[in-house]
Chains A and B, each alone.
Chain A
Amino acid sequence: KAGVTQTPRYLIKTRGQQVTLSCSPISGHRSVSWYQQTPGQGLQFLFEYFSETQRNKGNFPGRFSGRQFSNSRSEMNVSTLELGDSALYLCASSLEGNYEQYFGPGTRLTVT
């Protein structure tokens, strides 16, 4: 069974631009969660989608948004990028009921 995939793997953007990251979960997993990882803050929860609905949200500004499609694939968008948004963005998928999270390789975003 294929694992969680994330695209692109690396991105370089300029301050003020926007970016869209994509995550394809393991087949059959309907829960998709997004996390931001930085050296200073560690791993922080962004949001979780389940059956195309945002079910949980972390403490991030409204510039961070996401969505989930009917095939469970998810995207997250960051608008008006700031230098502090430079991070590894990780996506995880899990099965309803057990919620063992399986992570993708991440997207490394650098904002210059």
Chain B
Amino acid sequence: KQEVTQIPAALSVPEGENLVLNCSFTDSAIYNLQWFRQDPGKGLTSLLLIQSSQREQTSGRLNASLDKSSGRSTLYIAASQPGDSATYLCAVCHTNAGKSTFGDGTTLTVKP
């Protein structure tokens, strides 16, 4: 059974800092890994998708890496802004279907 863990559970940083969020998974036979952002009471916004054959993906100030052999992914946020404050979720899809296992998320607060 796939288990996904995200560390830390919460993180508070001053504006402008670079930061790293971690995601680990127990079964390395994954199809893809996706990072999401969720604002309070809202749905999930897709940030980055990494297919199992890829090592990293970049979008603006965000960079996500994937190391299947060690069961790890990181989300790097450069030059953080108060608008980045949200919960970040990592989801692992381990079959070629729309079924993902989610971590519990990291709640990020960026202070002005």
Interface residues of A (CB under 8 A from B): 4, 31-33, 35, 42-45, 48, 50, 55-56, 58, 88, 90, 92-94, 97-106, 108
In the bound complex, residues from chain B placing their C-beta under 8 Å from that of A44 are 102
Beta-carbon nearest neighbor of A55 in chain B: B97
Which 4 pairs from chain A and chain B are nearest by CB? A31-B98, A43-B102, A103-B44, A33-B98
In the bound complex, residues from chain B placing their C-beta under 8 Å from that of A43 are 89, 91, 102
Cβ-based interface call for B69 (8 A):
no
Are B99 and A100 closer than 8 Å at their CB atoms?
no
Starting from the known contacts A43-B89, A98-B49, 16 additional A-B residue pairs (CB-CB under 8 Å) come to A33-B99, A33-B100, A42-B102, A45-B100, A45-B101, A48-B99, A50-B98, A92-B98, A99-B32, A100-B32, A101-B34, A103-B36, A103-B46, A105-B42, A106-B42, A106-B43
- With A99-B31, A100-B34, A101-B34: A56-B97 Cβ-Cβ less than 8 Å: yes
In the complex, how many angstroms separate the beta carbon of B26 from the nearest chain A beta carbon? 16
Beta-carbon nearest neighbor of B36 in chain A: A103
Partner of B104, one of A42, A45, A98: A42
In the bound complex, residues from chain A placing their C-beta under 8 Å from that of B51 are 98
- What's the interface size class on B, roughly? 20 to 34
Residue interface bits B72-106, CB-to-A below 8 A is 1, else 0: 00000000000000000101010111111111110
Beta-carbon nearest neighbor of A43 in chain B: B102
Can you list 6 A-B pairs, Cβ within 8 angstroms, ordered by A?
A: A88-B41, A98-B32, A98-B51, A99-B98, A103-B44, A105-B42
Are B46 and A101 closer than 8 Å at their CB atoms?
yes
In the complex, how many angstroms separate the beta carbon of B98 from the nearest chain A beta carbon? 4
In the complex, how many angstroms separate the beta carbon of A92 from the nearest chain B beta carbon? 7
In the complex, how many angstroms separate the beta carbon of A63 from the nearest chain B beta carbon? 20
In the complex, how many angstroms separate the beta carbon of A90 from the nearest chain B beta carbon? 6
